Chains A and B, each alone.
Chain A
C-alpha cells in the first residue's frame, strides 16, 4: 500500500470534512482562474487587436482613447467627424509617402445592438487581423465596390441575429439599440466572415457608398435657390437625402454621394515604415482638422494606468482567498490530529518512521489541495464559459479556450506550495507523536 493510497484513505475516512475543505479550496481557485483567464484573455486580446492591420487611427480631435475604443473595439460613442479630404491627403496628397494603406470608416448606425461599420471592400482584401491571418468568408463574398447596399456580417453577429447570405437587414440610426433611432433602407447580406476572435466578429460591415446614401448620413451643404416671391436669392442647408431627391435620383439608382457632402468617422492607416508611424501622427496633430493616435500606445497607457492596478488588486484578493482556503485545510487536518493520534501511533508501531507519518499528513494536505484546486479550475472554466457571452458583448473579445493562460500553469506548483505550508503544522504534530503514550491511551 503506497503512502499516497494511505493518505487518500485517511481523507476519505473523513469524507464530509474533507469534501467541505476541498470545496472551499475549489471556490477560491475558481475565482482565481476566472480572474486570471478573463483578465489575461481580455488584455491580451485588447493589446493584440490594437495594432493589427494598421498603426495609426486618424479621427476628429477629442479623446484619444475614445477614438481607439469606438474604432477598434466598437465600444463607446464615436467622436465627431473629419473631412473626407483627409483621406485624399493620406492616399494621394501631402501624407502619401507615409502611408501604405488607408481604410475609411463611418460609424453611427447599429442593427439589433451590433455596430454597423461603413467601409470599403479593401478592408477585407489585404489586411491581417492576426499575424499571418487574413479575413476569410464562411459563406458568401466580400461586398462589391458598386454593390452600394451590400453588407457583411461578423461571425458572432451572424450567429446572434440569425441573418444569412441573401437576407436583408435595415440598420437603425444611432450606435446603440435604444429604440430611439429610425430605420434606414435595407442592405443585403452578401457574406459572413469566419470567426477572428476580434471585436469585428460582432460588427456588421456595409459599403461606405450605401451608408452615405442613407437618411441623415450626408453632410448638409449650402444650396442656392431663388425665393421668387421675395425676388431675392437665399441660402439654406439641405440634407443630402433631400438633395438627392431634389436632383431626381431614385435610391435604387445608387449614384454616389458627391465628395463635398461626405465625412468620415475615422481612417485606419497602415504606415509605410516604422519611422512613418511616428512622423505621420505628429504632422496630422499639428493641423486643426484631425488627430492621429497610435492605438497600441493608447491601449498600453490604459492598461498601465487603470487596468494594471485593478488587476493587481483583484489578484491580491483572489490569492488571499486561496490562502484562506489553505488555512482551512490546515485547520481541518490539524483538528483531526487529536483523534488520529492512535492511528499514527499504530502506523509507527507497524514500522512507519516519523518522517513517513509526516509525509503521509503532507500528502493528505497536497491531495486535498490538488483535488479542491483542480475542481476549482474546472469550476473557474465553467464560470468563464458562462460569462463568455457577456464579456463578448461588452468588450467584443471572444474568449477562446484553446490554450492555457501562463499563470494557470503555475496553479499546480502553487497549490502544492500552499498545501505544504498548510500541512506543515499538522505534519509536525504527527512527527512528534509519542507512540508509546498514544498506544496505551484510551481508544
Chain B
C-alpha cells in the first residue's frame, strides 16, 4: 500500500550548507496494516510523515501509495491525492477555532472530489462519542474531546492511509488510551493503513509492528 524507497531530504542552513534530515532506504506498509514509527526527537519522523503526505517533496527517491509515485505528481495533483486518499492527525489537534466540531470534521472532506457528506461527519462524531456536541467549538471542548474531533476529521474523507503525528502527546493517560483505541479500531474496521508516530512506550507496545526510524534513516543513525 505504502512504499518509501531511497528517500533523501535535506534543509538549507543559514550558512548556505545543506543539513540532511532523511535518508530512508526502504519502508513498506500493507493495506490495513498498522505500524508505529519511533525515534528520538529531531530524527525526522514528522518530516517523513510530511513527505509521505506529499506536504513536502523529497530531494530524491520514491513514495508510492497504491502504486502511484506521488513525488512525480504536480503540487496540485498531490493536494488532491492527499484530500482523497490520506488522513492526517496532528499532535496539537489543529482544529480551526471558529468552526464547530461538525464543521471541523466536514473540513476533512471539503477539498476532494468526494461528496460533502454531513451524515458521515455526524456519524463519525457519534462514533468518537461527541454526537451531542457537534455544535460546540473547540474552546468549548476538553483536550481529549478536541483530539477525538481531530480523529473524526482525519477519517472524514475515507482515507486509505492515516498518518498520525504523536496524536496522544497533548492528552492525559486516560484519554490517551481512548484515542489510540479509537484510531486503531476505526482503521481496522475501514481497512485503513496506519502509520503513527509516538514517543510513548505504552502506546508503541500495543502495535504488532514498530518501525525505528534510526534503523531506516542512515542520517539519523549517524547523528
Contact present for A353 and B103 (CB under 8 Å): no
Selected from A9, A352, A436, the residue in CB contact (under 8 A) with B111 is A352
Q: What sequence of 0s and 1s flags, for each residue 1-24 of chain A, a beta carbon within 8 Å of any chain B beta carbon?
A: 111011001101110000000000
The answer for the CA separation of A355 and B80 in the assembled complex, in Å, is 12
In the complex, which residue of chain A has the Cβ closest to the Cβ of B79? A353
Q: Contact size class for A?
A: 20 to 34
A348 within 8 A of B: yes
Residues in A with CB closer than 8 Å to B23 are: none
Interface residues of B in 10-55 (CB under 8 A from A): 46-47, 50, 53, 55
Contact present for B82 and A351 (CB under 8 Å): yes
The answer for the CA separation of A346 and B88 in the assembled complex, in Å, is 9
Residues in B with CB closer than 8 Å to A440 are: 46
Interface of A is mostly: helix
Contact present for A350 and B55 (CB under 8 Å): no
Contact present for B55 and A347 (CB under 8 Å): no
Selected from B53, B75, B112, B153, the residue in CB contact (under 8 A) with A354 is B75
The answer for the CA separation of A220 and B36 in the assembled complex, in Å, is 116
In the complex, which residue of chain A has the Cβ closest to the Cβ of B84? A351
CB distance from A108 to the nearest CB of B (A): 69
Residues in A with CB closer than 8 Å to B110 are: 1-3, 6, 350, 352
B67 within 8 A of A: no
In the complex, which residue of chain B has the Cβ closest to the Cβ of A356? B111
CB distance from B58 to the nearest CB of A (A): 12
Interface residues of A in 36-57 (CB under 8 A from B): none
Contact present for A346 and B80 (CB under 8 Å): no
Residues in A with CB closer than 8 Å to B82 are: 349-351
A443 within 8 A of B: yes
Known: A6-B110, A351-B157. A436 touches B56 (CB 8 A): yes
Contact present for B80 and A351 (CB under 8 Å): yes
Selected from B47, B80, B90, the residue in CB contact (under 8 A) with A353 is B80
In the complex, which residue of chain B has the Cβ closest to the Cβ of A440? B46
The answer for the CA separation of A119 and B116 in the assembled complex, in Å, is 74
B177 within 8 A of A: no
A115 within 8 A of B: no
The answer for the CA separation of A349 and B98 in the assembled complex, in Å, is 18
Q: What sequence of 0s and 1s flags, for each residue 94-126 of chain B, a beta carbon within 8 Å of any chain A beta carbon?
A: 101111000100111111100010000000000
Contact present for B107 and A349 (CB under 8 Å): no
Residues in A with CB closer than 8 Å to B86 are: 351
CB distance from B166 to the nearest CB of A (A): 12
Residues in A with CB closer than 8 Å to B116 are: 1-2
A435 within 8 A of B: yes
The answer for the CA separation of A62 and B96 in the assembled complex, in Å, is 75
Contact present for B76 and A349 (CB under 8 Å): no
Residues in B with CB closer than 8 Å to A13 are: 96-99
Interface residues of A in 409-443 (CB under 8 A from B): 435-436, 439-440, 443
In the complex, which residue of chain A has the Cβ closest to the Cβ of B77? A353
Instruction: Name the residue among B80, B99, B108, B153 with the largest chain A CB count within 10 angstroms.
Output: B99
A298 within 8 A of B: no
A342 within 8 A of B: yes
A183 within 8 A of B: no
Residues in A with CB closer than 8 Å to B219 are: none
B83 within 8 A of A: yes
The answer for the CA separation of A7 and B46 in the assembled complex, in Å, is 29
Selected from A3, A9, A348, the residue in CB contact (under 8 A) with B103 is A9
Contact present for A350 and B99 (CB under 8 Å): no
CB distance from B100 to the nearest CB of A (A): 9
Contact present for B108 and A350 (CB under 8 Å): yes
The answer for the CA separation of A41 and B107 in the assembled complex, in Å, is 49
Instruction: Name the residue among A3, A10, A352, A439 with the largest chain B CB count within 10 angstroms.
Output: A439
The answer for the CA separation of A395 and B74 in the assembled complex, in Å, is 66
Contact present for A353 and B111 (CB under 8 Å): yes
Residues in B with CB closer than 8 Å to A10 are: 98
Residues in A with CB closer than 8 Å to B99 are: 9, 13
B92 within 8 A of A: yes
A343 within 8 A of B: yes
Contact present for A351 and B55 (CB under 8 Å): no
Contact present for B79 and A348 (CB under 8 Å): yes
The answer for the CA separation of A274 and B75 in the assembled complex, in Å, is 72
Contact present for A9 and B98 (CB under 8 Å): yes
Contact present for B103 and A351 (CB under 8 Å): no
Selected from A352, A355, A443, the residue in CB contact (under 8 A) with B83 is A352
In the complex, which residue of chain B has the Cβ closest to the Cβ of A340? B96
Residues in B with CB closer than 8 Å to A3 are: 110
Residues in A with CB closer than 8 Å to B80 are: 351, 353
Selected from B55, B83, B84, the residue in CB contact (under 8 A) with A435 is B55
Residues in A with CB closer than 8 Å to B88 are: 349-350
In the complex, which residue of chain A has the Cβ closest to the Cβ of B57? A436
Known: A1-B116, A346-B94, A347-B107. A353 touches B76 (CB 8 A): yes
Selected from B53, B84, B106, B111, the residue in CB contact (under 8 A) with A347 is B111
Contact present for A352 and B79 (CB under 8 Å): yes
CB distance from A16 to the nearest CB of B (A): 13
CB distance from B8 to the nearest CB of A (A): 16
The answer for the CA separation of A13 and B75 in the assembled complex, in Å, is 29
Contact present for A436 and B50 (CB under 8 Å): yes
Rank and list the top 3 A-B pairs by shortest CB-CB distance, nearest first.
A351-B83, A13-B98, A351-B111
A sample of 16 more A-B contacts (CB under 8 A), given A2-B116, A350-B88, A436-B56, is A1-B106, A2-B110, A13-B96, A14-B98, A342-B94, A346-B94, A348-B79, A349-B53, A350-B82, A351-B157, A353-B75, A354-B75, A355-B76, A356-B79, A436-B47, A443-B92
Q: List 16 A-B contacts (CB under 8 A).
A: A2-B116, A9-B98, A9-B99, A346-B96, A348-B55, A349-B82, A349-B88, A350-B110, A351-B80, A352-B79, A353-B75, A354-B75, A356-B79, A435-B56, A439-B50, A443-B94
